[in-house]
Amino acid sequence: MEHSGLLCLDFDHVGCSEVGKQSYGHADSLALQKLKQQLIIDRHFTTWLLFTSPSGEGLKWVIEISLAMCDHKTWFKSVQKYVRDTYQLEVDDKCINVSRACFLPHDSLCYVNPTIFTNHPDICPF
């Protein structure tokens, strides 16, 4: 088994946090959409996949990392600090676990990087 070279970050309760300024217990879809747009165009990380979490109140952000530079745990801690400093968001600490599962819910507004198949022909050979 080998690492995929991808890091999945989980932002819980985005619409209920400072981003959405909501206190009534459900996500502010406008806050989620704004954050999605910011992450998609992030200048430091290529977004490969971005979708609303199964709870409907958070986001999952999948970015590419280079294990030639450092290991998964070091990447996680560095990106966690970057996200905290840049977006004032907390990343779920459990994402530090390299073998953590990630469920893919049905999200009609899911972002999939359009270059995924051209940059990674091994994923889809046709």
Mean pLDDT value across the chain: 81
**How many structural domains compose the chain?**
1
Residue 21 in any domain: the answer is no
What pTM did the predictor assign?
0.79
Matching residue, tokens 């971005």:
50
- What pLDDT does residue 124 have? 53
Report, as an integer, the average pLDDT of 44-66: 90
Domain with 47 in it? 6-16+26-119
- Taken in order 98, 92, 19, 80, the sign of the CA dihedral is negative
What is the pLDDT at residue 24? 34
Residue 124 located in a structural domain: no
Provide φ and ψ at 50, rounded to 5°: -150, 125
Two tokens, residue 83: 């996200």
Q: Is the pLDDT of residue 91 over 70?
A: yes
Q: What is the mean pLDDT of residues 30-42?
A: 89
Task: Please list, in sequence order, all residues whose beta carbon lies within 8 angstroms of the beta carbon of residue 13, skipping any fewer than 6 positions away.
Answer: 27, 55, 57, 58
